[in-house]
Amino acid sequence: MNAIISASELASELAGPTPPAVLDVRWQLGGPNLRPEYEKAHVPGAVFVDLDAELAGPPGVGGRHPLPDTEAFGAAMRAAGVSADRHVVVYDGGLGWAAARAWWMLRFTGHPSVRVLDGGLAAWEGPLTAEIPEPAPGTFKPVPGALPLLDADGSAALARSGLLLDARAAERYRGDVEPIDPVAGHIPGAVSAPTTENVAESGRFLPAADLADRFAALGATGGAEVGVYCGSGVSGAHEVLALAVAGIPAALYVGSWSEWSRDGSRPVATGPDPR
């Protein structure tokens, strides 16, 4: 199944006999919780999911958005009406990063059918509602490991043996600026690949063939093992999603730069070149 869904396809499925569970994952980095925006207007039937509280664990040595507790994540998904035998569609109101994190978490823990609304809420042309749904409890039981996962050591090794993509903005990769984490720069050997370049001005993903060409130019050729990191495992999930659209499997380093840069023993590279 494709990893993304268009607004027209979602509208058709919601009107059909077996509508998907829909999750609203509106979020902004460092900003207030966006549940109030959800309560004002959302796709009918959509349930709000809090990225910071439900798609990540508490920040610490594992980074700003480490993996959540598996049982707590499962309970949150079941409360949102998620079952393994029911399609899931996720969306957010911005760049698609938060929705991609929800997609990745559900796929990583074994859900077989999750799609991101291409273009997010801005692409939705159907009605919006302020009515808060009360979904029947779902049955999804997460089992981590269905998608490949990297830790710091694995990311360092992949940067040497395969292709490790840095999904952050190019200026953060180079170390020109670092607005969030304690050290500026990138993992030595990683290749700059801002995830913002995977989408058009509309916010929708580029065609699969164009994405495949982009990643091939970055080194995703010949069956090379591919991994992705970002600041804290959110925009990196969006890059993994873009790779999936292009037909390229990739691992995610969830701790990402927010974990790497906390450890003073780990090397840091700066400038435009991988090393």
Classify domain 4-123 by CATH number: 3.40.250.10
d(CA 258, CA 262): 7
Is the fold of 4-123 the same as that of 149-260? yes
Give the amino acid at 87. Answer: H
- Residue 100 is among the residues annotated as catalytic for this protein: no
Classify domain 149-260 by CATH number: 3.40.250.10
Q: pLDDT tens for residues 55-73? A: 999 999 999 999 999 999 9
Sheet containing strand 191-192, strands side by side: 149-150, 251-253, 226-229, 163-166, 191-192
What pLDDT shows up at residue 151?
98
By the 10 Å C-beta count (0-12 exposed, 13-18 middle, 19+ buried), 32 is classed as exposed
What pLDDT shows up at residue 43?
98
Please identify every stretch of the chain with a pLDDT value under 70, giving residue numbers as ranges: none
pTM above 0.95, yes or no: yes
Q: pLDDT tens for residues 113-145? A: 999 999 999 999 999 999 999 999 999 999 999
What pLDDT shows up at residue 254?
98
Of 3, 150, 230, 254, which residue is the catalytic one?
230
CB 250 within 8 A of CB 236: no
For residue 207, the 8-state DSSP code is: P
Q: How is the chain split into domains, by residue range? A: 4-123, 149-260
